[in-house]
Structure 1
Amino acid sequence: MSSPSDRPAWYDAILPVMDLRLGQVVRGVAGRRDEYLPVQSRYVDDSRPGTIAMLLAQTFGFRDCYVADLNAIAGGQVDAATLEAIAVQGLNVWLDAGVGSVARWQACSENLRGWSPFRWIVGLESLVSWQAMRQLVEAIEPERLVFSLDLKQGKPLTNRPELVGLSALEIAKTVAGMGVGTLLVLDVEAVGEGTGARTEDLLDEISREVPEIELVAGGGMASPAGIESLMGHQVRRVLVASALHDGRIAPYHGGGRGAGWE
């Protein structure tokens, strides 16, 4: 399987992930954020965001990056300086900063001091209400908004009365009906575990019921085969983090499978 860039299609599907905490890039562990520790990469000697961004852009050749600002997701202020240090390496940032309402989106935008991410992530975990979702769809250009269907052990991750009790498929169909064009499906229990995304059946349901929506998924990717498997479920982009740093997925430099890998 190849792509227009002369790299395997699965490689171009990778959306590398950076989780930020206290000014460092940390490694996700099944969604237990209090256990996240600074990432250890076989390619660089520190976990500073600028260093990791340079690694992803220059060594791996990626153009996009999913960035989760864990402090902002917990309700704190977005880390503007760190995000700018990532973007200056040439990466298009998909930003998850705990946006769940227009007021929160506006506050994050103001704190970014004029810099703007490539795409904004609106996560189910952070979403205040359906009304807030409608307002966000109106406020953010459709091509720049991604809804993250956050799951835990297959169940929607929310404590909002209006949303509790809805199935993942019902939520996916509702946001698609509001005009959301890109949907991220992620079970936090799979993050960093290397055991696969655990969402394949749901992805199939969504692709059948809402064929017009672009699917993004990830969590627990351990090899190219795992990425290719998700692509077989109509997934366009696949989130990958740990496997990039520990060498399970190596940089590709062109020239064919035998010669192009590190």
Structure 2
Amino acid sequence: MPALGQTFGIEIVPVVDLRLGSVVRAKAGERNRYQPIVTPLSRSPDPVEVAAGLLAVAPSRHLYVADLDGIEGRGRDVASLRRLATAFPAVTLWIDAGIATRAEADAFLDQGLGRLVLGSESQADDALVRDLGDRAVLSLDFRGEDYVGPHEILATPAIWPERVIVMTLARVGMGHGPDLTRLADLHRQAPTGCRLYAAGGLRDRRDLAALAEIGVSGILVASALHDGRL
């Protein structure tokens, strides 16, 4: 089965949001309201079962995993991450677990679970983004119109790694369409060779065409896959 979005040159990256060992349904970035997912792609909210369902309908080399326990400071769900890495050895996990220090990053990288995602909302400054470079994926996080994170990360495109996610949290799970204006603006600022990935709001294949037109390389997707809109 060819990867979804191949016609438009857009990479579809399926998304798993983990909380307390289960996959939850993300909506509008309101994490306190996320509930265990109910989806036709899996019989349960078990991470491996849900990931298998997502990858069956959207084959991908990458799987984005938001470890919400780690992001929210409850301790990282290493057991679930290890299960996913073991179950899908040909897929590289992109993992946001709220890591913000070099010691945490080194410990994570030593485990060999996947590619580290540095969420701007979790960073105190730009040091870790500069230090890790292309060994990490950067997520530029936005709530509404507001960027969340150290200003120097957003204001210094020269330090961005090869892959940058533009995370529009208010659009996650809402089906309102990607934030094309913001994505186009950041694409103009991005250094040569930087690949932007949209996150939040995808409705259908028409949005993929619009993203391709402005030069976006990929998009993180959950709801549109669970709901059968792609």
Query: Distance in 1 between the 2:63 and 2:39 partners?
Result: 17
Identical-residue share of aligned pairs (%): 33
Q: Which has the larger radius of gyration?
A: 1
Counting only pairs closer than 5 Å after superposition, residues 1-262 of structure 1 correspond to structure 2 as 8-10=6-8, 13-87=11-85, 88-90=87-89, 91-109=91-109, 114-117=111-114, 119-137=115-133, 142=134, 144-158=135-149, 163=150, 166=151, 171-174=153-156, 176-178=157-159, 180-198=161-179, 200-212=180-192, 213-249=194-230
How far apart are residue 10 of structure 1 and its match? 4.4
How far apart are residue 237 of structure 1 and its match? 1.0
What is the SS of the residue equivalent to 1:100?
Answer: coil
Question: TM-score, length-normalised on structure 1?
Answer: 0.78
Q: 1:254 maps to what in 2?
A: none
Query: Distance in 1 between the 2:79 and 2:24 partners?
Result: 17
How far apart are residue 43 of structure 1 and its match? 2.7
How far apart are residue 99 of structure 1 and its match? 1.6
Query: Distance in 1 between the 2:10 and 2:46 partners?
Result: 25
How far apart are residue 7 of structure 1 and its match? 7.0
Query: Distance in 1 between the 2:160 and 2:148 partners?
Result: 21
How far apart are residue 228 of structure 1 and its match? 2.1
Change (3 A) 1:80 1:205: same
How far apart are residue 102 of structure 1 and its match? 0.8
- Flag as ranges the 4+ runs of structure 1 deviating above 6 A: none
CA contact under 8 A between 1:38 and 1:47: conserved in structure 2? Answer: yes
CA contact under 8 A between 1:57 and 1:63: conserved in structure 2? Answer: no
Query: Distance in 2 between the 1:45 and 1:210 partners?
Result: 41
Query: Distance in 1 between the 2:113 and 2:40 partners?
Result: 31
What is the SS of the residue equivalent to 1:66?
Answer: strand
Change (3 A) 1:57 1:135: same
Query: Distance in 1 between the 2:108 and 2:9 partners?
Result: 31
CA contact under 8 A between 2:5 and 2:208: conserved in structure 1? Answer: no
Query: Distance in 2 between the 1:171 and 1:7 partners?
Result: 30
Change (3 A) 1:107 1:76: farther
Question: Please, which runs of 5 or more residues in structure 2 have no aligned partner?
Answer: none
Query: Distance in 1 between the 2:122 and 2:55 partners?
Result: 29
Question: Please, which runs of 5 or more residues in structure 1 have no aligned partner?
Answer: 250-262
How far apart are residue 11 of structure 1 and its match? 8.1
Q: CA RMSD in A?
A: 2.3
How far apart are residue 179 of structure 1 and its match? 5.3
CA contact under 8 A between 1:173 and 1:210: conserved in structure 2? Answer: no
Change (3 A) 1:12 1:22: same
Offset from partner CA, 1:167-193 (integer Å, 9 cap, x none): xxx74451x322522211111000010
What is the SS of the residue equivalent to 1:47?
Answer: coil
Q: How many residues are matched? A: 226
How far apart are residue 116 of structure 1 and its match? 2.7
Query: Distance in 2 between the 1:230 and 1:41 partners?
Result: 26
